Amino acid sequence: MLRTTLAIAVTFATPLAAQQADTAAYRAQARAEVARLKAERPRAGPARNVIVFIGDGMGVSTITAARIHQGQLAGQDGESFVTAMDALPYTALVKTYSHDGQVSDSAPTATAILSGVKARNATLGVGPEVATGDCAAARAHAVPSIFVAAQAQGRATGVVSTTRITHATPAAAYAHSAHRDWEAAVPAEAAAGGCIDIARQMIEGPVGSRLDVILGGGRRYFLPQSASDPEYPDIRGLRADGRDLVAEWRRRHRNGRYVTDTRGFAAIDTARPGPILGLFQPDHMQYEADRAGDVAGEPSLADMTVKAIERLSRNRRGFVLLVEGGRIDHAHHAGNARRALEDTIAMDRAVAAAVASTDADETLIVVTSDHGHAFSFAGYPPRGNPILGVVAGPDGKPYRARDEKAYTTLGYANGPGAHDHPRADPADEDTTALDYKQQALVPLGSETHGGDDVVARASGPQAHLFRGTIEQHSIHDVMAEALGIAGE
């Protein structure tokens, strides 16, 4: 059942701006929230559909800062603002360590979420028995994602991401690889051992070849080195094997639609049968803050989510859809909080669109992250202080550190924002600028992931199982429980 309303079907306590609140108002707000919590009833039946959102690198500090930024951009009280993710009724803390790491990368965490086992860092869609780069072990210990069982049940399946579609998180839906970087080629030894690259697995693999919707970036990973990109003629394909995998996909799917820009995307008739392949950039898609400047144009994460739901909903047996807000992670690695927050907001809009486009009685929606970042939200800024600004007092004057310089609310424990020379004074800089890099403590070329717990939020059938503190690989089993494939 497809909804047309855009309202989020969850009643939430009314946010209170500081200037509107007094003791009675706060007490009334709390009572309303308790009433909402008491009224919530678990949906214990099976799910027809499952949509899992993964905000790559979207830790708790990112969620909180993005909520405030979203509210402030809307001219509202950011601290009490309620996002679509906030409105999902069930929440659990999620442990993010991998089989061999206190701090994980995105390949084993996506494997945990989608396949139900912890794996080693840098490996994808394989069990913990596989060491990084060990092709033979990867072939012996591939683990099926939830997409395998969904396709066996006759459900429609789709993958949407703002990263390359061969990148770690989306690839975990359909690929098995001893190294996450084997996207367009594998080492000679691995090739001799029968391992193939991730792009080929998407085109000819047992899961990838049956995906009904594929939307994301990464065109050059499917094109030969002799081919020029359709949008950027100076960029050529990456494939040394000479194969044009896009052309191969089109031959395999005579009734399929392949699009590369917003014009082609808008023209897709989702009522027409056949799979959809959209590759909107030669590499990753644009950050949300930069998307409007793209020459050919590319759809938003919410646009792609809605299009995917419309197409997948045509299957009467239901569907499984993965949606990744992947560039949150990339902005954090760059020490660029503003782009990270705006990509988080874009993901929240996609969540809102999914809630509005589905029936909560038949669709389990899970929103989580694979890992956090070394991203801090600190100081003592007063309520209403610009989240991207410097920490200031009620008089608007910046607080000063021991070096007599101001400091921002948001920062990083490590990354490119650190320097060997004395730090600049943020009060003399535009800390809200799109390219501003928040200051960091330890100088690194790329900021790192964090090992802190993340959150999972959920609504729909079996969503009440998300509670307490859970292992990351248990997310897979909750989704499997909802689809009636637990233990398969």
CATH of the domain at 202: 3.40.720.10
Alpha helices in 55-183 (DSSP H): 60-73, 106-115, 135-140, 146-152, 168-171
In a domain, 430, yes or no: no
Helix (H) or strand (E) holding 266: helix 262-266
Mean pLDDT by 10 residues, the chain (488 residues): 37 60 92 94 95 98 98 96 97 98 98 98 98 98 98 98 98 98 98 98 98 98 97 97 98 97 97 97 98 95 98 98 98 98 98 98 98 97 96 94 97 96 96 98 98 98 98 98 82
Q: What is the pLDDT of residue 464?
A: 98
In a domain, 396, yes or no: no
Instruction: Kindly name the residue from 104, 106, 376, 474 that is annotated as catalytic.
Output: 106
Q: What is the pLDDT of residue 15?
A: 66
CA distance 301 to 213: 14
In a domain, 431, yes or no: no
Q: What's this model's pTM, rounded to 2 decimal places?
A: 0.95
CA distance 176 to 191: 14
* Cα 413 to chain centroid, rounded: 22
In a domain, 348, yes or no: yes
Q: What is the pLDDT of residue 488?
A: 52
In a domain, 258, yes or no: yes
Q: What is the pLDDT of residue 7?
A: 36
Q: What is the pLDDT of residue 21?
A: 84
- Sorted by sequence, the CB contacts under 8 Å of residue 209 that are 6+ apart come out as 202, 203, 252
Total domain count, the chain: 1
Whether residue 412 contacts residue 335, with contact meaning beta carbons closer than 8 Å, is answered with yes
In a domain, 27, yes or no: no
84's tokens = 């679509």
Q: What is the pLDDT of residue 8?
A: 37
- Residue 37, classified by CB atoms within 10 Å of its CB into exposed (0-12), middle (13-18) or buried (19+), is exposed
Residue 106 catalytic? yes
Q: What is the pLDDT of residue 423?
A: 94
Domain residues for the domain of 114 are 43-374+448-483
Whether residue 216 contacts residue 262, with contact meaning beta carbons closer than 8 Å, is answered with no
Q: What is the pLDDT of residue 20?
A: 74
In a domain, 129, yes or no: yes
In a domain, 223, yes or no: yes
Q: What is the pLDDT of residue 14?
A: 58
